[in-house]
Chains A and B, each alone.
Chain A
Amino acid sequence: MSNHKSQILISNLKSMIRSFVILVVVLSFGICVFKFTKSADALDMQSPRFRIDSGNVNTAAGDKSSASYKLSDTIGQLAAGQFSSTGYVVKAGFQYIHSIIPFQFSISNINIPLGVLTPNTPSTATTNLTVSFGGAGQYQVTAIEENQLKTLSGNAIPDTSCDGGLQTCSTSTAAVWSSTSAYGFGYNMIGNDIPADFTNSTYFRPFPNLSLSASPAVVMSSINVGKNRQSTMTFKANVSPIQPAGSYQTIINFVATPSF
């Protein structure tokens, strides 16, 4: 009888172990699937990309023999060269840079959280800007804010003027912003092809304000051919103790263009 009871107990324990094993396997599988699904958001897309776009050949197809235009573009090596047609010329192919890298622009994070803004405690957040421009040769990236950091009710955090005095910054000149009693919103740049006035990580500028009809600021530019040029933009906000509470938000417009 005792033996039989032990057998039942063993059987129950085996069943429980089986259940645990299944549970662990299912949970592990779930964790893996869940994790991989989420990590897709943070995939590093900054690695060099290389792509031959056969569609480019079609770009000028059908129109090349027209007697009414000359076309010269940077769209593919297959059609490179110079063609004559009834007094007009069609040019295709890269004019001076032998490259098939498209013009590419990346922002590592387009939702930049500054967190809960605490008076006299600067909040910062970063995002990386990357440009590949082998085919374009020369490029610029500009930035402008649509308006100040502000709440829906209209309370605004002013654009920074940095530490003030000799360290007063503007939309075109960076200056030191390290004082915790200097309030505002601004940005710093570190990395490739950035404006020279961003001497180090303490130098900031305010964004130009689109609502005030300001012109965008050039935050990256280069006249030299290269690829995967990367910079880090640090956003900084510091509020005073009398700043009303609320969700302060703005939109930054980045425009990346090759040269001509």
Chain B
Amino acid sequence: MSNHKSQIQILNLKSKLKSFAILFMVLSFGFCVLTSTVNAQQLSLSITPPLLQLVIKPGKSIMVAYNIENFGDPVILTSKLVNFEPKDDLGNIKLKDDLNGPIRFSLDNADLQLGRPFFLKTGASQQLLLRIRVPDGSPEGDYYYTLLAESTPPNGLEGVGSARAKASIGSNILITVTNSGIIEVKPKVVLFKTLGNVYDSFDKIPMVFVIGNQGKNMIQPEGQITLKGDLGEELNYDIVPKNILAQSERMIEATPSADTTFSGKPVSLVLSGFFIGVYHLSTSVTFGENSPTVFASTSFFVFPFKLLAGIVIVIVVTIVMVKKFSKNDDED
């Protein structure tokens, strides 16, 4: 009896052993075959502040702390400065390859230098203490720079074709050098008009407003665009105070929360609602205390052409049908 019990126990144990062996094989198979190797190397960087504006006297210097944070895989970064210039009137920039101008830049960090690589592990941040120095005798005017944190590309893959990405993240620095603190403000309205002169009452009405800066210092517009109708209605739209760099033009936007594109193209303002009659758009823009004020205006005509066309069609169809039915009645 005892022998029989032992035999049963042995059989149970053998069964368990088989189960474990199968489990082991399934797990091994799953690990080796079903899982895929992931080699994506991610780069994710942030920089603050994204923009710095500085008005400074020659002979002075300041220190500004930038923070660069790595949200991706460990990365080797190099910080450097280059000049930039406006590329178009939409606020895009064109970076230059080198660094020119009288402004001197250096890092106050004990262990970091501009142009020297540093390591940033995942989740880590690095504060860059940027010293901006304007030597005595520096010419008055504006100088525009971009602080770049540039990554080192990964090693190439052997035996296959591959493209490797090198990424830079930048922050713009706008510096005005002045002895007296007086900023030259020479604005000019380049364009202030709607994209058409006649609109349907149900259409959106896009308008474009471009200001040129003919001075040697950047300026910042403040003001409103006002819409007035002949029936007395009035609407005001605040201008977004974006910088207009020296000797450049920029399309001004109004009401930052609104969508400022029309048919995929950037515009200053999109008017929407039911309008009828002649409307006048005007603007009055200043550029800070004691600055000149620029004015501009334009007009457009709005009428419910589509609604009118619909009504005419309905009337014509009704008349035709009434006449037809009348004719039928007469024949009967």
Contact = CB atoms under 8 A, between A and B. Distances in A.
Given A3-B3, A70-B181, A110-B154, A45 B42 contact: yes
A112 interface: yes
B91 interface: yes
Given A73-B52, A110-B43, A20 B170 contact: no
Interface residues of B, number: 99
B92 A114 contact: no
B169 interface: yes
A113 B144 CA distance: 38
Interface string B28-50: 10010001011111111111111
B51 interface: yes
Interface stretch (A135-143, A167-175, A176-184): A135-143
Given A42-B40, A257-B172, A9 B10 contact: yes
Contact of A38 (B38, B49, B65, B264): B38
Given A110-B167, A114-B161, A115-B160, A10 B9 contact: yes
B322 interface: no
A260 B51 contact: yes
Contacts of B73: 41
A83 to B, nearest CB: 13
B273 interface: no
A56 interface: yes
Contacts of B166: 110, 251-254
Interface string A88-105: 100100011100001111
Given A103-B46, A107-B43, A224 B259 contact: yes
B270 to A, nearest CB: 12
A80 interface: no
Interface stretch (B55-63, B192-200, B205-213, B291-299): B55-63
Nearest to B183: A70
Q: DSSP class of B's interface residues: helix, strand, loop or mixed?
A: mixed
Given A70-B181, A105-B167, A111 B241 contact: no
B313 interface: no
Contacts of B92: 140, 218, 221, 259
B162 interface: yes
A223 B95 contact: no
A124 to B, nearest CB: 11
Q: DSSP class of A's interface residues: helix, strand, loop or mixed?
A: mixed
Contact of B93 (A58, A62, A74, A140): A140
Given A41-B42, A96-B242, A257-B146, A105 B10 contact: no
A96 B256 contact: yes
Interface stretch (B11-19, B98-106, B109-117, B274-282): B11-19
Interface of B: 2-3, 6-7, 9-10, 13-14, 16-17, 20-21, 23-24, 27-28, 31, 35, 37-57, 59-60, 62-67, 69, 71-73, 84, 86, 90-95, 122, 127, 144, 146, 148, 151, 153-154, 156-172, 174, 181, 220, 240-243, 245, 253, 256, 259-261, 264, 266
Sorted nearest first, the 3 A-B pairs with minimum C-beta distance are: A6-B6, A106-B44, A70-B55
Interface of A: 2-3, 6-7, 9-10, 13-14, 16-17, 20-21, 23-24, 27-28, 31, 35, 38-43, 45, 49, 51, 53, 55-56, 58-60, 62-63, 66, 68-75, 87-88, 91, 95-97, 102-117, 123, 125, 127, 130, 132-133, 135-138, 140, 142, 145, 149, 157, 196, 215-216, 218, 221, 223-225, 235, 237, 247-260
